[in-house]
Amino acid sequence: MEKNNKKATVIIISIFIVLILAILISYAYFTTELNGADQIVKVGELELVLDETSEGISLDNAVGISDSEGLSLEGSTFKLINNGSKAVDYTIYLDDNTISGTDTRIDDKYLKYNLVKNGSDSGAYLLTSIGSNPNRILDSGTIEGKSTNEYSLNLWITDEVDGNYSGQVFSGKLRVEVSQDKPEGIDVLIDKANDPSNNDYNSSSIEEQKEMYVFNHSETYQTEALTDYRYIGNNPNNYVIFNDEVWRIIGVFPVVNAKGETENRIKIVRNESIGRYSWDNKDISTGAERVGGKNDWTDARLMKLLNGGYENEEVGGSLYYNRGSGMCYSGYDNATVSCDFSESGLSDEAKSMISKAVWYLGSKDSSTASNTGEDDYIQERSNQVTSNRPLSWLGEVGLIYISDYSYTFANGVGDTCYNTVMSCNTTEAPNSWLYKKNVVWLTIVSRLYTFIDIYYVNSDNVFAGGARSSRYVYPTLYLNSNIKITSGDGSSENPYRLSI
């Protein structure tokens, strides 16, 4: 058939959008038909938008036209918008769309296209030059965070190729495939945190009560001015599955890692105790300065039970860390009991999610019973220690601070338990999600001016006592900064799930 004798016909190129967001190995498919109104497809932080003025691409005759004529046509415009803060890689495909069983699809060899991206014109090219369905790649690259790519797409029948395509149709869809990792868990939690200006710790908003609050801390002897995020109240959304067990998230904290770098990390505490053991029950013959144990966490027998690297210890060494069993220190003057962590100890997967962090070992002066949570925070990071005690420790598994407990009270800076945690009362103590009725459990904090005393949480208050006493142990640790939250909302019914 001669080109100048081709019968006029109408070919409508219908534009559909399928936005595919690849998250790790999972895919989510969203499809919408674009009819000329404002059309937006959203997946996470990404949007694909068809402008209100776009009505798809249509060709009003079957007579092939020149490139100059094709380039002058009004194209179909759309945008790819990255509302997130991180750059992502993407590829835009032009795929065949389903056509009626009575229609015949026009061959790609008769079609040319033109794509304008952010004002840059691709020129006119045969559709076959970008591959065949389903691998026609219109554009690919990286879109930075908080940025937009704007496009205009034209398709026309070229006069460069002769053939019989009368009455045939083309129907296509735009597919945008974007590869983007899930954000780190710290970002998920911080994004949910209450606005920093919100210090209404008794907020009537259930949503606010269940998420983290922001706390700003002044410079201490060991730390610069820092901001951390803490769960307070008696029922926040801070449940998480770790080590195939339920743990609770204390918050997100700036932590110094083994390289000396400060990074935000999620701090968690086991929801159930692993048993009753002594913080340290050495006597003078085995290394203590006084009868009653030694309140130096860097040499404590409980520390060696919880952490790796102490496998050569005759009793307790790294048993919890390695899911071992044997004898552990519990009771006065080097006493031991049998212990079995073959199920409750850390799994290999759990150990891969943690690494060493700096824990501050400033001691608390028991004469200042009216300390607020902030006062406790400062003392724990101070240079106040008993003679020859280290100021800090680099390790993986520790215990809670006193300030971790006092900050949880629902009324924050106005709560009696926050202001006088050492003389809290049973009426107010249940306001804390860390409250455990009729349980005495260990903290990592030692008492100033003594060689043997450490601090315990006793249901509704905090008190000092000898390190040798057997008390409940709730392991506490910092997750690696790259840990991701893969599912869950933090509620007790739907705890957060983690992945590396």
Express each pLDDT in 369-419 by its tens digit: 557 888 899 999 999 999 889 999 999 999 999 999 989 885 554 566 777
**Residue 497, H or E segment:** strand 497-499
Per-residue pLDDT tens over the stretch 114-127: 999 999 999 999 99
Query: In 3-state terms, what secondary structure has residue 349?
Result: helix
**Confidence at residue 481, expressed as pLDDT on a 0 to 100 scale:** 93
Give 73's contacts (C-beta < 8 A, 6+ positions apart).
57, 154, 156
Stated pTM of the model: 0.68
Q: Terminal CA-to-CA distance of the chain, rounded, Å?
A: 63
How crowded is the C-beta side of 71, counted as CA atoms within 13 Å?
A: 10
Asked if residues 280 and 290 have their Cβ atoms less than 8 Å apart, the reply is: no
Q: Please state the rounded mean pLDDT for residues 432-444.
A: 93
Q: Does the structure show a pLDDT above 70 at 61?
A: no
- What percent of the chain stands above pLDDT 70? 85
Asked whether the predicted pLDDT for residue 346 surpasses 70, the reply is: yes
pLDDT in tens, 283-309: 999 999 998 999 999 999 999 999 999
Closest to 82 in 3D by CA, of 44, 111, 129? 44
> What are the start-end ranges of the H helices in 407-496?
416-419
Cα distances from 74 to residues 35, 42, 59, 223, in angstroms, run: 16, 26, 11, 61
pLDDT of residue 410: 57
- Cα separation, 338 vs 329, whole angstroms: 9
Q: What is the mean pLDDT of residues 167-178?
A: 78
Q: What band does 83 get if pLDDT is binned at 50, 70 and 90?
A: confident
Q: Is the confidence at residue 16, as pLDDT, over 70? A: no
- Where are the chain's structural domains? 3-179, 185-499
Compute the mean pLDDT over every residue in the chain, rounded to the nearest whole number. 84
- pLDDT tens, residue by residue, 182-233: 678 999 999 899 988 887 777 778 888 899 999 999 999 999 999 999 999 8
Report whether 62 contacts 9 (CB < 8 A). Answer: yes
Instruction: Read off the pLDDT of residues 91-101 as tens digits, 9 standing for 90 and up.
Output: 888 888 887 78
Tokens matching residue 57? 């691409």
Q: What pLDDT was estimated at residue 500?
A: 81
DSSP 3-state helix, strand, coil percentages of the chain (rounded to 5)?
15, 40, 50
- Checking if the pLDDT of 32 tops 50, the result is no
Q: What is the pLDDT of residue 42?
A: 61
Q: Tens of pLDDT along 252-262?
A: 999 999 999 99
Find the helix or strand (DSSP H, E) in which 239 lies. Answer: strand 239-242
